[in-house]
Every structure is written in C-alpha cells, then in structure tokens.
Chains A and B, each alone.
Chain A
Amino acid sequence: MIRDEQRRILGEAAEWLATLHSGDVDDADRSCCRDWRRADPRHERAYRKMENLWRRFEGLGSDGGAATSTLNAVLGARRRQRLRGGGALAVVLLVGASASLLSLPFAPLDLLADYRSATGEQRHVALPDGSELVLNSGTAVDLDYSAGERRVRLRHGELLARVAPDRGRPFVVESAAGTARALGTEYTVRIREDGMDVVVTESSVEVCAAPPTASAAHHGRAHCAAAVAGQRARVRGDRVSAPQAVDTALETAWVKQRLVADDRPLSEVLKELRRYRSGVLHYDDKALSNIRVSGVFPLDDTDRALDLLAALAPIQVRHYTGLLTLISPR
C-alpha cells in the first residue's frame, strides 16, 4: 500500500520533470509544479530524487549526436542484426563519406565544466553576485570567483554576460585567446576558430589578447583595446583589432533565439545554423555561392529555420533521419 503510494508520487515527479524539459513550458506549468512540490514533503523528496537522476546524464549529448547514436546502436543491437545492411548503419556510412568533406567545429566533451549547454540549447545561469550569463548553443564555462575578482572561463562557445556592478571586484571573461574585463556592463564573448570576438552592448570593456609567451605575460605585455557600447573587438593571435561599430541588436539576436540575416550569403547563414543543430548539415559552398538571403530565423527550431530558407531561396532541403540533412540548389 505504502509502496504503491510512493510509486505514484515518483511517477508524478517524473512527469513534472518531463514537462519542465518539454521545450514548451509556461509560467502556469512552473507554478503548478511548485505547488505540487510544496503540497507534501514526500513530493519534494521525490522531485529531488528525479532531479538528481536527470543530472546524471549531464555531459552526454554535446558531441553532435555521437552519444545518442552509440546508445541506440548498443541498446538496439538485437533488432538491428535482422536489418543489417539497411537503416541506421547505411546512414552512418553515408555521413562518414560526406563529413570528411567538411570541417565540423570541434566540440570538446567538457564533462567537468561548471556550466554547459548542449547543442541547440540556450541556458541562463544566475551567478552568486547577481550577475547573469546566457550560454549560447554548445557552450561550456567554469567559474572562478575570489575576493578580488570574478572570473568566468569560457572553454568554448559563446556567452552574454550581464554584469552586476561591483567596483572592488572586476568581472573578467577569459578564453584561450584572451580576456574581456568590465565593471558593471553587458557584453558577449564568442570563441572563434581563430580567436575571440567581444561585442559590448552597455558601458565599456577592456579586451586583451592572451600573451604569446609566459615571459611576455610576466612583463605585462599583453595587447589590449577598450571597446565601448555598440562596438566589437576581435582578438586574433596576440593582437586585438581596433574596435568597430556593429549593430548590437543583430549581434546579440541569438539571446532571443533569433538569427537575423540582412542580405547575407546563404552559406554563412547555414554555417551559423549548424551551431544549433545536432547531426550533420551538409551543403556544397560553391553550389550555393550566388545565393543571398534576408530574414529572421528561429534558432530554437532549426528545422523551421531551414523550411523558411527553402521558401525564401531556390534550395532543396532533404532530411535523412535526425542525423543528416542535405541542402542543394533547386
């Protein structure tokens, strides 16, 4: 009897967790969930248990779908033997053939990072000092807060920092390429294949390149530049470019899950969409080189974004399972 009751509560807790991660949850759902947790201490215990279980899977899935495919292959092995030669196996080989033509962005498996977002996921992180981070798709950061400094290490990806003012404790975002230091401001930092970009939306930020050698660091010879609101500074190698005016609304549209294209080459837009999709998005740069597009595309539903592109541009979008999407001129 008691076991049945316990089982029912755990089932409800599991459904709440599923709902909260359904991708379609509103304030009413959240407040119902809170009410349910408060209604009975056993509810709260069950919820905590489920939440811990949910966290166990952290660290998997930020590898472009390799973890999911592996698990489906291992667990579906018995069924697959009958279908050998067709279905999933053939697709994986096809992906292998086409993937070698691309250089996909390398997504290290940052299992030990303090905060991570999966591919296609956007995550808000409330920091202990009242600052806030928004992590873009496929991003990993570590926190290093001390009495004298608030340091956020960006392992890879892109983030927006809304910094709570604290004169005594500078706020620094650091990547392998350099640092961006602020006192009470809002800015984004994005790691690029060849460096780091910093876009400032409020106040100002000091951007410094990582010193090329330890001895240069020792002598304090890092190359720095100050960027103010409305500017972008780029770190390439051991230099910081002179900050340039950019449209910050456009640069930070990803925070609102939007990609804004204003007469941009289609291949650039597709390259950007790739960051938000697990699986492979394949296209031939040259075949698409003459096509330009303008529009606003949803980043939280890249299938829809591709549908929109197909409606705007003379292209064909073909899906092969969830893993592979081919784009070709029509």
Chain B
Amino acid sequence: MGAESYYRNEAVKVLYSHHHGWLMGWLRKKLGCSQRAADMAQDTFLRVLTSHADLNAVKEPRAYLTTIAGRLIIDDARRKKVEHLYLETWSALHGNDVAPSSQSLVEVVELLTAVARLLEGLPEKPRRAFLMSRLEGRSHGEIAKALGVSVSMIKKYVARALLHCLDLLDEDQR
C-alpha cells in the first residue's frame, strides 16, 4: 500500500469511527428502513474511500457525508427507474421472447444511470441532439431535421452537452 492510500485509509477510519453511527441515524430517518440505511452507509464510506477528494480539506464531515449519501439515494432511485424503463422499451422493441442477458443488463443499467446523471439539467434539445449523435450515430443533418433547427445549431448543442458532462464530472472529483 502506498503512503497516500495509507493516509486516506486512516482518515476514513477516523471519519467512520466518529460519524458512522450518526450517518446511520440520518439515513434511517430518511429511508425508514434500517437494513437499507446500513447498506447505504457502507456504500457512502466506500465512495469516500475511492474518491479523489482531499479529506484533510473537509471542514464539515457530516455535511460532506450527507451530500454523498444523498447522491447515492438519488442514484439508487434513478437506477431502479432506468432498469424498469429499459426493460419496458427493450420488450417493446424486441418482443418478450428475447431478453437482454442479466450480465449485460446490469452493465447497461449502470452505464445508463451514470449517463442520466451526467445529462440531467441539460435542456431537452441539446440533450436529444447529443443522444442522437453519440448513441445513434446520426448525422447532424438528420438531427437538425428531426429537431427542426439548423445544422450548425446541432454542433453547438452537442458541444454544449459535452461541456455540461465535463462540468459534472469535475464536480465529482472535488
């Protein structure tokens, strides 16, 4: 183990021993279920352990922990929604006879949840333009026709979506 990860482990240990009980209480009140609260608390500390944030710079440890835990709760809810909608769309497109393999389903739902988080807050047109371009590989000309805007606008939409994603990713690093 490198020195850096050693100190990180120590810092997380301190956070854990001082605030784990409190975080459990906070989560229990929010979720109304102690089993889920315990799981969510574990996930929160796992996230802290693997993040790149400078723990020494954390002034308000409880606010820091509840921010991460809150995000995890939202992600969890979104993941369920994504999974439900994905399966619905899948069977609409492919019929009920062929199901996606459970392995790839887990991966896709994970990816889609992450992408949904990245694209949240982006207005509808830039988001749709970006999805059509990146996921469906459609040309700017086609997208412009579908959205009823000029071709040069599509380039701006796609670029705007990329910057938006980058901002959110940078935020995560902090």
B55 at the interface (CB under 8 A from A): no
When chains A and B are docked, how far (Å) is the Cα of A63 from the Cα of B111?
A: 13
Q: A23-B138, A50-B166, A60-B112 are in contact. Are A95 and B95 (CB under 8 A)?
A: no
When chains A and B are docked, how far (Å) is the Cα of A49 from the Cα of B3?
A: 28
A41 / chain B contacts, CB cutoff of 8 Å: none
Q: A19-B155, A111-B111 are in contact. Are A71 and B119 (CB under 8 A)?
A: yes
Q: What's the least CB distance linking A110 to chain B, in Å?
A: 8
Instruction: Assess whether A24 is in contact with B78, with CB atoms less than 8 Å apart.
Output: no
Q: What's the least CB distance linking B22 to chain A, in Å?
A: 32
B138 / chain A contacts, CB cutoff of 8 Å: 23, 120
A64 / chain B contacts, CB cutoff of 8 Å: 93-94
Number of A-B contacts (CB under 8 A): 178
Interface string of B119-161 (1 = CB under 8 A from A): 1101010011001111111111110001000000011101110
- Say which one of A9-17, A161-169, A222-230 lies at the interface with B: A9-17
Q: What's the least CB distance linking A8 to chain B, in Å?
A: 11
Instruction: Assess whether B93 is in contact with A280, with CB atoms less than 8 Å apart.
Output: yes
A214 at the interface (CB under 8 A from B): no
B171 at the interface (CB under 8 A from A): no
B142 / chain A contacts, CB cutoff of 8 Å: 23, 301, 303
Interface string of A55-87 (1 = CB under 8 A from B): 011011101111111111111110100000000
When chains A and B are docked, how far (Å) is the Cα of A21 from the Cα of B142?
A: 13
Instruction: Assess whether B115 is in contact with A99, with CB atoms less than 8 Å apart.
Output: no
How would you classify the secondary structure of chain B's contact residues: helix, strand, loop or mixed?
helix
B89 at the interface (CB under 8 A from A): yes
B127 / chain A contacts, CB cutoff of 8 Å: 71-72, 75
A65 touches which of B93, B97, B155, B169 (Cβ 8 Å): B93
Q: A11-B159, A57-B115 are in contact. Are A118 and B95 (CB under 8 A)?
A: no
B31 at the interface (CB under 8 A from A): no
B73 at the interface (CB under 8 A from A): no
When chains A and B are docked, how far (Å) is the Cα of A148 from the Cα of B108?
A: 36
Q: What's the least CB distance linking A277 to chain B, in Å?
A: 10
A320 at the interface (CB under 8 A from B): no
Query: Given A15-B156, A53-B169, A278-B136, list of 14 further CB < 8 A pairs?
Result: A21-B137, A22-B140, A67-B86, A74-B78, A75-B120, A75-B122, A95-B92, A95-B93, A99-B92, A99-B94, A99-B95, A109-B101, A109-B107, A120-B137
Interface residues of B (CB under 8 A from A): 78, 81-82, 85-86, 88-98, 100-101, 104, 107-108, 111-112, 114-116, 119-120, 122, 124, 127-128, 131-142, 146, 154-156, 158-160, 162-163, 165-166, 169
- Say which one of A100-108, A189-197, A306-314 lies at the interface with B: A100-108
Instruction: Assess whether B116 is in contact with A61, with CB atoms less than 8 Å apart.
Output: no
A176 at the interface (CB under 8 A from B): no
A28 at the interface (CB under 8 A from B): no
Scoring B92, B96, B166 by chain A CB atoms within 10 A of each residue's CB, the highest score goes to B92
Instruction: Assess whether B162 is in contact with A66, with CB atoms less than 8 Å apart.
Output: no
Instruction: Assess whether B91 is in contact with A96, with CB atoms less than 8 Å apart.
Output: yes
A71 touches which of B90, B93, B131 (Cβ 8 Å): B131
Instruction: Assess whether A23 is in contact with B139, with CB atoms less than 8 Å apart.
Output: yes
The residue in chain B whose Cβ has the minimal distance to the Cβ of A118 is B137
Within 8 A of B (CB), among A92-134: 92-93, 95-96, 99-100, 102-104, 106, 108-111, 118-121
When chains A and B are docked, how far (Å) is the Cα of A322 from the Cα of B154?
A: 17
Give 3 closest A-B pairs by Cβ, nearest first. A23-B139, A61-B135, A14-B159
Q: What's the least CB distance linking B133 to chain A, in Å?
A: 6
A sample of 12 cross-chain residue pairs with beta-carbon separation below 8 angstroms, ordered by A number, consists of A10-B166, A53-B165, A53-B166, A63-B93, A63-B108, A71-B112, A71-B115, A71-B116, A74-B82, A100-B95, A104-B95, A111-B104
B119 / chain A contacts, CB cutoff of 8 Å: 71, 75
A19 / chain B contacts, CB cutoff of 8 Å: 155
When chains A and B are docked, how far (Å) is the Cα of A102 from the Cα of B104?
A: 23
Instruction: Assess whether A99 is in contact with B124, with CB atoms less than 8 Å apart.
Output: no
Q: What's the least CB distance linking A93 to chain B, in Å?
A: 7
Scoring A21, A93, A103, A301 by chain B CB atoms within 10 A of each residue's CB, the highest score goes to A21
A100 / chain B contacts, CB cutoff of 8 Å: 95-96
Q: What's the least CB distance linking B32 to chain A, in Å?
A: 23
A242 at the interface (CB under 8 A from B): no
Q: What's the least CB distance linking B38 to chain A, in Å?
A: 28
Q: What's the least CB distance linking B148 to chain A, in Å?
A: 13
